[in-house]
Amino acid sequence: MKLKSISLVLATTALAALSLPSFAQDQDKSGSNLTTTSGGEKGAVATLSMAYELYGIGIASGDALTVLTAARLAASAEVEAQEPAALDPAGFDAEGLNLETFAKKRAPSPTPAAPAPVMKDEPRPAAVATFRDALNEDEGEAETPATAAAMFAKATELAGDNEALKEIIADAEAETSRGRIGGGVSWLSRLNSGKVDIWQVPFYGNSYAEVAVAGDGDANLDVVITDENGNVVCYDVSPSDQVYCDFVPAWDGYFYIAVENTGRKRNSYYLLTN
């Protein structure tokens, strides 16, 4: 399991007793819903997560080649954009909710937005609820994280008068349709300063799971992921808005992803899963 700069916590801290419908009466689902930490074949989610991280580094350093590498990675990954359902907020203790309290306090069981998955050819809907008032209404500079096309354009801009490098960038962009990696899903959230999103996402048991949060660079995002029993799967509070986590659930079940905007501007981020 990886999370930003290898920030990882596996704990059995009791969060909310978040309950799920029972799918297999003969399986004990009272413990941690993990069989192993990582170990699967990484796909589009990992590729995009790396692309956004490299893009941030390239922008900060003004390096066209780093931005170009990010653009090529982003162009090689294909994800399906979906709209999330509304998660019933009544099941959560909204008073004073932040990542620290989410990871430590118990709360009533929320009503699931949809049945957890049973068959792998069925859709896996996600649901989200947003908590707390905005600290300010600054909408930031970016509407969404950069697309591959925007990354290529930025690489060209940073190349300046280097015509040879510009030609390399143009050739790379022309080849973006070849060998794309699919299998990812994305949901967009525009999270104002001080607010917290809680996502409910089902994952299949004994199947490799990937989760990434890719922000637009305008504000820091902190992330906690737990299973339905409150066990912390991933925890990250480092100063970045790029997060990646992978794991293998033991059974079909919901996982809860809390994203907090601790910055001073809105961050429009993608939640990415496989």
Q: Which of 79-93, 135-149, 151-165 has maximum average pLDDT?
A: 151-165
- Lowest-confidence region among 1-10, 62-71, 190-199, 215-224: 1-10
pLDDT for the residue numbered 94: 67
Mean pLDDT, rounded, of the chain? 82
Strands (E), the chain: 77-81, 85-86, 127-131, 181-191, 196-203, 209-214, 221-227, 232-236, 242-247, 253-261, 267-273
Q: Let me know if residue 31 belongs to a domain.
A: no
C-alpha 59/C-alpha 145 separation (Å) is 13
Q: Is the pLDDT of residue 234 over 50?
A: yes
- pLDDT of residue 121 exceeding 70, the answer is no
Domain count, the chain: 1
In a domain, 268, yes or no: yes
| In-domain check, residue 231 | yes
Task: Give the CATH number for residue 133.
Answer: 2.60.120.380
Domain assignment present for residue 95? The answer is yes
13-44 pLDDT, tens digit each: 323 333 333 344 456 777 788 886 666 788 99
Residues in a beta bridge with 226: 232, 256
The answer to whether position 169 is within a domain reads no
Residue 111 has pLDDT above 50, yes or no: no
- Grade residue 272 by pLDDT with cuts at 50, 70 and 90: very high
**Residue 93 forms part of a structural domain:** yes
Provide the pLDDT for residue 176: 78
196 in a structural domain: yes
In which domain, by residue range, is 206 found?
Answer: 86-145+183-273
